[in-house]
Amino acid sequence: MPGKKSPENERREEILQAAFRVALRRRVAGLTSREVSADAGVSNGLLFFHFRNRQELLLALLDWLLAQTILAHAIREIPEPGLAEVCMAKAIREAIETMPRHREQIELFFDYWFTASHNDELMRKKIRAALGRYRRSYVPLARAVVAESPQRYRGVTPGALASVATGLIEGCAMNLVMNPKSFHPGGYAGAMAALLREPRGIMNLSAD
């Protein structure tokens, strides 16, 4: 029965949430307008009234997603003098430990990258921008770390260090997504800590 009004953008939000649920079930590529509208409890036509086309729906969902995952949690803290490393370590550890709470979103995020974005430079740009923001949010901290121990980090740019830090986190995310059962953030972080505890570090080969 047409004509029932719904206040403001309530419907739009409902449809977005339905799209999220469907994407979790069917992946981004398998998301169809019919299943979304059915899940939202509205007609198929209404979906295309609120979203011009499938692509716009997917973009809106991506925006919502990017505002949810860890990628949105940029690092803001300014380390106290002499404690830059501790501060960075804490940030990484926290990122790893809060990760399991966002598992579904993270999985969907990866899915967006690998599937939907292939012929869609707009999506790729959005994701790359979010990743870039996240990485850059680590740069000031990385710069402080480098400044704190100039000899040790000779030749290492803050950017590269930030890359490695976020790379650790992303690798961890992969583990979480691909191997959720045997992934224990505590054990993972512990092993990583042990790796880094020794003077003669494991990666310390001749420099190239």
Interaction site with DNA (CB under 7 A): 1-6, 11, 31-35, 42-46, 48-50, 52-55
Identity of the residue, 11 or 136, whose beta carbon is nearer to a copy of itself in the bound complex? 136
- What one-letter code names the amino acid at 161? L
> Would you say 118 and 194 are in contact if contact means Cβ atoms under 8 Å apart?
no
Number of other CB atoms surrounding residue 73 within 10 Å: 15
The site partner of 88 among DNA, a copy of itself, none (C-beta below 5 to 8 Å per kind) is: a copy of itself
Cα dihedral across residues 85, 87, 90, 92: positive or negative: negative
Q: Which residues contact 11 (CB under 8 A, 6 or more apart)?
A: 42, 46, 50
| Residue 70 touches a copy of itself, criterion: CB under 8 A | no
What letter does residue 99 receive in the DSSP assignment?
G
Both tokens assigned to 98: 């809060």
Q: How far apart are CA 165 and CA 77, in angstroms?
A: 16
The site partner of 17 among DNA, a copy of itself, none (C-beta below 5 to 8 Å per kind) is: none
> Would you say 153 and 141 are in contact if contact means Cβ atoms under 8 Å apart?
no
Q: Provide the minimum distance between the beta carbon of 196 and a copy of itself in the complex, in angstroms, as a whole number.
A: 3
The site partner of 46 among a copy of itself, DNA, none (C-beta below 5 to 8 Å per kind) is: DNA
Q: Residue 73: which of 50, 46, 102 has the closest Cα?
A: 102
Q: How far apart are CA 143 and CA 138, in angstroms?
A: 9
Q: Provide the minimum distance between the beta carbon of 9 and a copy of itself in the complex, in angstroms, as a whole number.
A: 30
Both tokens assigned to 41: 């409890």
Identity of the residue, 147 or 195, whose beta carbon is nearer to a copy of itself in the bound complex? 195
Identity of the residue, 46 or 89, whose beta carbon is nearer to a copy of itself in the bound complex? 89
Both tokens assigned to 144: 């402080």
Q: Provide the minimum distance between the beta carbon of 9 and DNA in the complex, in angstroms, as a whole number.
A: 8
| Residue 114 touches a copy of itself, criterion: CB under 8 A | yes
The site partner of 160 among a copy of itself, DNA, none (C-beta below 5 to 8 Å per kind) is: a copy of itself
The contact set with a copy of itself (CB under 8 A) reads: 26-30, 85-86, 88-90, 92-93, 107, 110-111, 113-115, 118-119, 127-128, 131, 145, 149, 152-153, 155-157, 160-161, 163-164, 167-172, 174-175, 178-179, 182-183, 186-205, 207-208
